[in-house]
């Protein structure tokens, strides 16, 4: 049976959620068309044991790929290398695809010729199950219709929304930075650089878990890993300058990367005030001005503008003031809804 969709599951110490990730596939009616790769990134819990259990039960659709720890990007790289399906889509081991939407999605992919297919995704609260947001990543295009990428304005997809032809990733030798957090944007940007056409699906497929304290998207996670996003921004800017030749792809880069740079500044205001964090904020500001002056000129908020004018002398006062004023995090460090 020809596989329509390869699903690369990033699985590092996800024993507590892996069944919740995999069981929805079993509830779907399209298992025979799925190439589900559980990429175990050197887990120290029972991730591999659980994955092997599913592999043994469903060997035609589920396989375990074990590798040394290399971070999220390394699981994407391994998934691309091993993928057998017509399209490739990513899934984190604590998230899931909605079964009924997946049935429709697979039927649509089977009929498709577009290089990329963008589907809505839902963010939900891990404790209550309540839907927080629905993001459709569609800038206003007619659904289930193929568009040339150059004809789509305001397009900025996210990892959770993206499916792309596997052959394009392989042909383009797409690789994502390893041993690094926050590389999902890098993957999306490099994927878009391989595509010439896109279509938009109308049902949310990916359900993204807004989870606990310590998650990479929590304040504690940001403080621990914010320099890795700094690295991803630098890598992406370098790739933009050397590998992106089409204006329509540069527009996607500009829209996504400017937003990522905005968020990087905010993170460096929200984390704890230390001399090291101040040094890194100054270094990031200088790097962005040198490598992407057009991005630098677009990013303004009052506290940052004051620091730029005063050579960052008021950092220890303005950073905590900005954090308190914006109030983006709960008391336990989770992103506020």
Contact 235, 186 (CB under 8 A): yes
Contact present, 92 and 9 (Cβ < 8 Å): yes
Q: Which two tokens stand for residue 128?
A: 């209550």
Written as one string, the DSSP assignment of 20-59 is HHHHHHHHSS-GGGEEEEEEEES-SSSHHHHHHHHHHH-T
54/61 Cα distance (integer angstroms): 9
Non-local (6+) Cβ contacts of 24 within 8 A are 96, 97, 98, 99, 102
Of the candidates 169, 162, 159, the residue with the CA atom closest to the CA atom of residue 119: 162
Distance (Å) of CA 21 to CA 15, 61, 100:
10, 15, 15
pTM for the complete prediction? 0.93
CA dihedral over 47, 50, 56, 58, signed as positive or negative: negative
The per-residue pLDDT for 214 is 47
Helix intervals (H) in the chain: 18-27, 47-57, 72-82, 99-111, 166-171, 184-192, 219-243, 247-270, 275-291, 293-298, 302-309, 315-326
pLDDT at 43: 98
| The two structure tokens encoding residue 69 | 């720890």
CA-atom Rg of the chain in angstroms: 20
How, if at all, do strands 87-92 and 5-11 pair? parallel
Kindly state the percentage of the chain with pLDDT values over 70.
Answer: 97
Asked whether the beta carbons of 195 and 115 are under 8 A apart, the reply is yes
Which positions of the chain have pLDDT values less than 50?
213-214
What does the longest C-alpha to C-alpha distance in the chain come to? 65
């Amino acid at each position: 049976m020809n596989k329509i969709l390869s699903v690369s599951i990033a699985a590092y110490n996800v024993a507590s959620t892996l069944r919740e990730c995999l069981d929805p596939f079993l509830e779907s009616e399209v298992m025979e068309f799925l190439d589900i790769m559980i990429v175990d990134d050197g887990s120290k819990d029972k991730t591999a044991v659980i994955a092997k259990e599913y592999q043994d039960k469903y060997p035609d659709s589920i396989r375990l790929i074990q590798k040394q720890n290399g971070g999220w990007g390394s699981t994407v790289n391994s998934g691309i290398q091993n993928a057998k399906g017509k399209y490739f889509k990513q899934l984190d081991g604590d998230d899931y695809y909605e079964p009924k939407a997946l049935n429709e999605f697979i039927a649509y992919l089977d009929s498709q010729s577009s290089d990329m297919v963008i589907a809505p995704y839902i963010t939900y609260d891990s404790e209550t199950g309540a839907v927080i947001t629905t993001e459709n990543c569609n800038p206003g295009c007619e659904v289930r219709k193929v568009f040339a990428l150059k004809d789509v304005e305001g397009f900025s997809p996210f990892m959770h929304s993206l499916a792309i032809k596997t052959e394009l990733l392989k042909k383009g030798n797409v690789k994502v930075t390893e041993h690094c957090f926050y590389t999902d944007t890098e993957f999306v940007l490099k994927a878009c650089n391989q595509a010439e056409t896109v279509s938009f699906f109308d049902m949310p497929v990916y359900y993204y878990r807004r989870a606990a304290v310590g998650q990479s998207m929590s304040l504690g996670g940001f403080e621990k890993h914010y320099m890795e996003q700094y690295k991803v921004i630098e890598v992406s800017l370098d790739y933009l300058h050397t590998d992106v030749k089409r204006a329509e792809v540069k527009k996607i880069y500009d829209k996504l990367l400017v937003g990522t740079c905005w968020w990087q500044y905010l993170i460096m205001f929200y984390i704890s005030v230390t001399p090291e964090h101040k040094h890194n904020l100054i270094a990031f500001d200088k790097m962005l001005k040198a490598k992407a002056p057009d991005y630098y000129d677009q990013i303004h908020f009052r506290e940052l503008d004051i620091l730029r004018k005063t050579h960052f002398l008021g950092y220890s006062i303005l950073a905590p003031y900005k954090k308190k004023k914006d109030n983006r995090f709960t008391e336990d460090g989770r992103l506020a809804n």
